[in-house]
Amino acid sequence: MTMENRASQARYNKLVQKADVKELTRSHDAAKARADAVRVQRNKANATKREAEKLAAAANVEASKQRELRLGAAQAAAAEHESRVRTEKKLEKERQQVQRLTEKLSVLALEKRKLDAKYRQTVKDAGLHAPAGGGGGGGGGAATSPALSLRKQVIRDSMARGQRKRELASMAALVNANAILRKQGKRQKERITVLREEAKSALRPSPQ
């Protein structure tokens, strides 16, 4: 090979080597760019995953709050129903007590009328069997006997006091039951108001 050919071959080899270096550099840069793009996409995917996990956790917390609110509302409704049933039973019991007292008063009034009739008959009989000349004909003297009148008056007063005492006791029981019902109703309303406010607060969107 002549000197000229060797010089030409050397120049050719140098050009080829230079082209190879450029191609390698270009390939390296392209690979680095692709790696950078993949890294960026991976970072974006990780950020999206973290955001999704955060949203899922917040959703779980909100769902738990909703379950607690529903459970609280159900418990409050059950307590209100139970309280209403107890109150209705108590009112029915009070009504039955008043009914029994009324029936007893009716029986006592009937007994009083029978007793009055018996005393009137006793007075009449005493007047009819009075000794001759003991007070003139008729039963006027026996009817106005101070002992019989006093006895009848004492019995009437005693029965009236007993009836009045029973009436006052019945009225006091009704007033007490009414006061208890008002207090229970007030507590139930306050509990329902609190539950409603908690439900409204839970349903409001959380500040970002």
Cα separation, 69 vs 195, in Å, equals 8
Tens digit of pLDDT for each residue in 167-204? 777 777 777 777 777 787 777 777 777 777 776 676 66
Contacts of 177 (CB under 8 A, 6+ apart): 90, 91, 94
- Ranges of beta strands (E only) in 70-151 are none
- Ranges of beta strands (E only) in the chain are none
Cα separation, 101 vs 127, in Å, equals 38
Instruction: Give how far Cα 4 sits from Cα of 7, 13, 102, Å.
Output: 5, 14, 145
Higher pLDDT, 135 or 29: 29
Instruction: Give how far Cα 57 sits from Cα of 51, 64, 66, 113, 207, Å.
Output: 10, 11, 14, 83, 16
Q: What are the structural domain ranges in the chain?
A: 3-203
76-104 in b/e form (b: 16+ CB < 10 A) is beeebeebeeebeeeeeebeeeeeebeee
Tens digit of pLDDT for each residue in 27-78? 777 888 888 889 999 999 999 999 999 998 988 898 888 888 888 888 888 8
C-beta separation of 159 from 104 below 8 A = no
- 88: tokens are 């209705």
Model pLDDT, residue 169: 78
C-beta separation of 79 from 192 below 8 A = no
Q: What is the CB-side half-sphere exposure of residue 11 using CA atoms within 13 A?
A: 5
Cα separation, 43 vs 37, in Å, equals 10
Tens digit of pLDDT for each residue in 76-85? 888 888 888 8
Percent of the chain with pLDDT over 90: 4
pTM, 2 dp: 0.34
Question: pLDDT grade, residue 137 (50/70/90)?
Answer: very low
Other beta carbons less than 10 A from residue 10's beta carbon: 10
Q: What is the largest CA-CA distance in the chain?
A: 195
Other beta carbons less than 10 A from residue 55's beta carbon: 10
Instruction: Give how far Cα 9 sits from Cα of 40, 60, 78, 179, Å.
Output: 46, 75, 101, 119
Model pLDDT, residue 203: 63
